[in-house]
Amino acid sequence: MVVDPDDTPVGTGGLLTGLGSVRTSSWLTSAAIHLCLLIVLAVLTYRLGGNERGISIDGSVSSPGADVEFETIQTEAQQASSDAPSFDQPVNVPLVETSTSDAATSIAVTSITAPDQAYQVNDLATADLKSGSSPANTAMQTFLGGGGMSARTPEGRKKYGDLYGATAASETAVENALRWLAAHQRSNGSWSFDLSLDPCDGQCGNSRKVDDDTPTPATAATGLALLAFMGAGYTSDVGPYQETVTRGFYYLKSAATESESGYDWQQSGSMYGHGIAMMALSEALGMTQLNDRYDSDLLHFVERGALFTTIAQHPNGSWGYTPASPGDTTVTGWQLLSLVGARKAGIPLPSTTFPKTKAFLMSVREEPTYQFGYNTPEPRRTTTAIALTLMMYLGQTPGNTLFDEAVDQLASAGPKRTDVYHDYYATMALHHWRHPGWEKWNTALRDHLVQTQATQGHEAGSWHFKDPWGDIGGRVYTTAMCTLILEVYYRFLPLYEKPSDFPL
């Protein structure tokens, strides 16, 4: 009992005053001890995190069933200016050679670790991919329901091939192309655009141009070939090309050059090589994921490769031929899609990467239309097809009249037939959009590819068309790209179908 001094009876004042003093001292001591314990528990229970955009508080409570959420407080990030002259200078990245044996060592499957505080999850693709409950996810919620790779199975190929327009002839063409690619894998596990090398030894025509100084790294050729095998559902563990795919990824791991900024697959100074190799590795990580468990070897390479990619982004949001140099729509396309694959596989990305990429694309847009240029707003058909596809991955949804009109124009113009770079991206855009002109587009392009595939000699199963890109990359490039086009039905599930119909 606590006694109020004003109520003290006469004659007992000295005793009660002494007792009151003792009790007050004990109460204060007890309160101080409990307060210290609460502070210690709070420190153990809550942790602060954040980045340049704000501070986040994560916490937990001890009572079962309680559900407490702390929202991130964010401020607008400052848009980096690209006017400074220094932004036009490439960055020299210190490189350290990685030994082949260390790079390709296999490690047991492990659970993915939580990102550290210095490497934040992107606002447009948060860690909670399935719930979509965060306000920051609103623009991307439709995208996160689709775009997955779960149809890359024999059952999926049949179901979605029938649904979206594959035929027995087109599927046969895919298998013949993969057989040709497998026969042209080099002894070290790589592919080369130069068909004068083994194992072809010049038996196929239309190799890469020998007098062209455009970089054509083996990492790009290997990445494209591996993407074609994985598009059909064939991995290191599944399908008839397990050894082929395993050797291909062994080569990519051994070809990784370690820098202070992560793993680099440029070779010959080309970010094309890095982006395409990273796209293959990212897809492999996603395809081998089992619940929340990953192949830790792949996880390591994709994490370090994604780090290099994000650091190599120019301040204006693009990627160029060399790290941190001003870029263009084509190089940017491969880098962004490799990061989308990494993000969907659970790799955290800096919060500014995707918004900056979108800002770059909008800077090369011919306003008010959604026609896009190479590195200026002067529109071109191929760069428009690339940019429209990338904008969809960045959260552009149906309903914007001008954007919808641009996709309509893409469909109405029809495939180029010989420019497979354009046709690959345009096919992706129309497939993801589920455009009403899809059937007409698909029939024309699918049947054209089936009819033009080589059927005789060492070239049987391959393609080559006379165009600038086809001449630079040669028959290996053209064959891989045509195969990816014919795998579109099941390679990625449409971005804008109902999420419940298309699990990740």
What is the mean pLDDT of each successive set of 10 residues along the chain, which is 504 residues long?
36 33 49 60 41 34 34 31 31 36 31 30 30 29 59 96 98 98 98 96 88 82 98 96 98 96 91 97 92 87 98 98 96 98 94 98 98 98 98 93 97 97 98 96 98 97 89 94 98 76 44
Tell me the pTM.
0.73
Q: Which domains does the chain have, with CATH numbers?
A: 143-501 (1.50.10.20)
Are 419 and 477 within 8 A, CB to CB? no
**H helices within 184-258, ranges in order?**
218-231, 242-255
The separation between the first and the last C-alpha atoms of the chain, rounded to the nearest angstrom, is 63
Alpha-carbon distance values, 367 to 143, 371, 378 (Å): 25, 8, 10
| pLDDT of amino acid 211 | 63
| pLDDT of amino acid 209 | 73
Angle of helix 154-164 versus helix 168-183 axis, rounded to 10:
130
Rounded to the nearest angstrom, the gap between the alpha carbon of residue 263 and the centroid of all alpha carbons in its chain is 16
Q: Which residues on adjacent β-strands are paired with residue 257?
A: 264
Closest by CA to 318, choosing from 139, 82, 123, 92, is 82
Alpha-carbon distance values, 99 to 104, 105, 118, 169, 253 (Å): 9, 10, 28, 44, 10
Alpha-carbon distance values, 104 to 222, 483, 499 (Å): 16, 28, 37
| pLDDT of amino acid 39 | 58
